[in-house]
Homo-oligomer: A and B are copies of this chain.
Amino acid sequence: MPEKAAKRQPGSRPSIRDVARKAGVSPGCVSNVINGRRKLDDPIGRAVLEAVNELGYRRNTMASNLRRSQSRIIGLVIPNFENPFFAELVAKLEQRAETTNYRIVATSSREDPETEAREIDELVGWRVAGVFVIPSLSSRALNLVSASETPFVFLDRIPQNAAIDGVGVNNAEACALLMRHLFEAGHSRILVAYLGDGIANVAERLDGVRNAVAEHEQPVTVDYLPTGDSIEGARAALDAYFDHNPKPDAVFCLFNTATLAAYGLLQQRGFVLGKDMALAGFDDSAWMAHVHPPVAAIVQPIEEIAKVAWERLLARIEGDTSAPETIRINCRLEARESLASVETQAG
């Protein structure tokens, strides 16, 4: 019989028409079956399902999304994947996505504003439902984003006076909390390692430290050491500091690479954490909890950040037009043994 044979290329996947032909129904009908718009316990439903299995049919998501003009994809632009904080944020957001039948597409900007701009553009091209952005250093994202009608939410590094939703932690308060903790424990000579100027986050942390120092009654000595963002750089800066200054009671690192650098340096110089010297860092890492003695950390509640941010973006996607807001979440202090009191030191 000269039936018109399937004309699709041997290399390409079967389409809904192939399924329809095989099941002896129309493409629209197949679509209805697949999308559950009809009960499938009748002969037609079964025939369609069988054809689907036999041909190994998989719906073409591009075509589907195009037609319904919606995408259920959420973009996520982060500075890099290697930072455990970002990595965990990706993971938590992905978990949220799954429960809401969305999908996260994560890309990294490698801290490069150019790359970041390209990524955002690309995501908009995909007509994603919304985008989370952790801005790179000296990011231009804010400009791009304000023009767009795609919902955006900034995470972690929230630009100042942005007319865009932002979700992050209360950096200043967390740092003030830790400083007060150090003061109460009797530390009066404290070294604060910070990244450098220009990052909103670290600036906020520094502010928190300064405020706590200003509010403190007793006289204390606090030195501020900019370290750059590489571990090696931080190590060198700390080394130079210790060579030329009296030994502090405590070291507080405002970002995670500095904490590792400081830890290694203090070990090498023979200080015993929690006895000779206190150490604390912003951001927790696996190694900090498991070395001995464990290193105290200001822990960002990543799961909650993800939760709140997700709710915010979803609300926007669903049409919420209220004024943009910046949500700050409080950190938790994980006071581990590296935070010894001066009394303990003396004893």
Q: Which residues does A use to contact B, with CB under 8 Å?
A: 11-13, 56, 58-63, 65-66, 69, 71, 80-82, 84, 87-88, 90-91, 94-95, 98, 103-108, 110, 115, 121-122, 124-127, 147-149, 231, 235, 257, 260-261, 263-265, 267-268, 285-287, 290-292, 294
| Chain A to chain B contacts (Cβ below 8 Å), 20 pairs | A13-B149, A58-B125, A59-B125, A60-B66, A61-B122, A62-B66, A62-B71, A62-B126, A62-B127, A63-B66, A80-B91, A81-B81, A87-B87, A94-B108, A103-B122, A106-B106, A260-B286, A260-B287, A264-B292, A268-B292
Specify which chain B residues have a CB less than 8 angstroms from the CB of A81 in the assembled complex: 81, 87-88, 90-91, 94
Task: Give Cα A10–Cα B108 distance, bound, in whole angstroms.
Answer: 32
Closest residue of B by beta carbon distance from A291: B264
Specify which chain B residues have a CB less than 8 angstroms from the CB of A63 in the assembled complex: 62, 66
Specify which chain B residues have a CB less than 8 angstroms from the CB of A59 in the assembled complex: 125
Closest residue of B by beta carbon distance from A150: B13
A250 to chain B, nearest CB (A): 19
Closest residue of B by beta carbon distance from A61: B125
Interface residue from B90, B261, B294 paired with A290 (Cβ < 8 Å): B261
Task: Give Cα A267–Cα B82 distance, bound, in whole angstroms.
Answer: 26
Given A61-B125, A62-B65, A124-B58: A107 touches B104 (CB 8 Å cut-off): yes
- Structural contact, A263 and B286, CB atoms closer than 8 A: no
A107 to chain B, nearest CB (A): 7
- Structural contact, A108 and B91, CB atoms closer than 8 A: yes
A125 to chain B, nearest CB (A): 4
- Considering residues A13, A81, A260, A291, which has the most beta carbons from chain B within 10 angstroms of its beta carbon? A81
Specify which chain B residues have a CB less than 8 angstroms from the CB of A66 in the assembled complex: 60, 62-63, 66
Specify which chain B residues have a CB less than 8 angstroms from the CB of A268 in the assembled complex: 292
Task: Give Cα A261–Cα B286 distance, bound, in whole angstroms.
Answer: 10
Specify which chain B residues have a CB less than 8 angstroms from the CB of A125 in the assembled complex: 58-61
Specify which chain B residues have a CB less than 8 angstroms from the CB of A62 in the assembled complex: 62-63, 65-66, 71, 126-127
Specify which chain B residues have a CB less than 8 angstroms from the CB of A58 in the assembled complex: 121, 124-125
A94 to chain B, nearest CB (A): 6
List 15 additional A-B contacts (Cβ < 8 Å) besides A12-B69, A81-B87.
A60-B66, A62-B62, A62-B66, A62-B126, A81-B88, A81-B94, A82-B84, A84-B84, A87-B87, A98-B115, A104-B107, A231-B290, A260-B286, A264-B292, A287-B287
